[in-house]
Amino acid sequence: MHIARILVFAALFAGVALVHAAPARAAGEISCRMRFEMHGWSAFYKTSKGSGTVTCSNGQHMAVHLRSKGGGLTFGKSSIEGVGKFSGIFSINEILGTYVTGGAHAGAVRSAGGTVMTKGNVSLALSGTGKGWDLGIDFGKFVISR
């Protein structure tokens, strides 16, 4: 009788352990994309602001505010619409924060481009099309907040 109870408890315990282990295995890296729009200007100092919406493969989504600031030899005025793809994400909250940027650019009237930036283990690749004009080399930060 005691052996039968022990076997029943062991089977129940093993079932509970499997139920709790399954979400841990399923909670891997997720895919997140951001649609965004930004407007800005530059004259040695570069600044732009905008907004976007992030959606992830696990069903999470978030409206975000975007801010980019930096400096360098840069001049121009632009508006950009585009898409960003995050990598190294396990929760949508990991997209928030400050990313390091840098690059060279030139464009007039309509242009297209892309850039990749990092924040620790998280990377963000942006691509988009824009209107305006710009010329220069810059560095700075790109901030995503709620």
- Kindly indicate the confidence band of residue 137, based on its pLDDT and cuts at 50, 70 and 90: low
26-41 tens-digit pLDDT: 469 999 999 999 988 8
Note whether 87 and 132 are within 8 A (CB). Answer: no
Name the residue with higher pLDDT: 17 or 120: 120
Ramachandran bin of 81, using left for φ above 0, alpha for ψ from -120 to 50, beta for the remaining angles = beta
Q: What is 30-145's CATH topology?
A: Lipocalin (2.40.128)
Residue 42: predicted pLDDT: 78
Find the mean pLDDT for residues 66-92: 86
The torsion angles phi and psi of 91, rounded to 5 degrees, stand at -150, 145
Q: Which residue has the higher pLDDT, 132 or 138?
A: 132
Closest to 68 measured CA to CA, from 128, 121, 7, 25 = 128
CA atoms within 13 A on the CB side of 13: 6
Name the strand (E) or helix (H) holding 92: none
Output the CA torsion sign for 10, 16, 18, 20. Answer: negative
Amino acid at 50: G
Question: How is the chain split into domains, by residue range?
Answer: 30-145
* Separation between Cα atoms, residue 85 and residue 18, nearest integer Å: 34
Mean pLDDT to the nearest integer, 123-139: 77
Predicted confidence at residue 17, as pLDDT, reads 37
**Which stretch, 63-72, 79-88, 108-117, 124-133, has highest mean pLDDT?**
79-88
pLDDT at residue 16 is higher than 60: no
Q: With b meaning 16 or more CB within 10 Å and e meaning fewer, what string describes 16-54? A: eeeeeeeeeeeeeebebebebbbebebeeebebebebeb
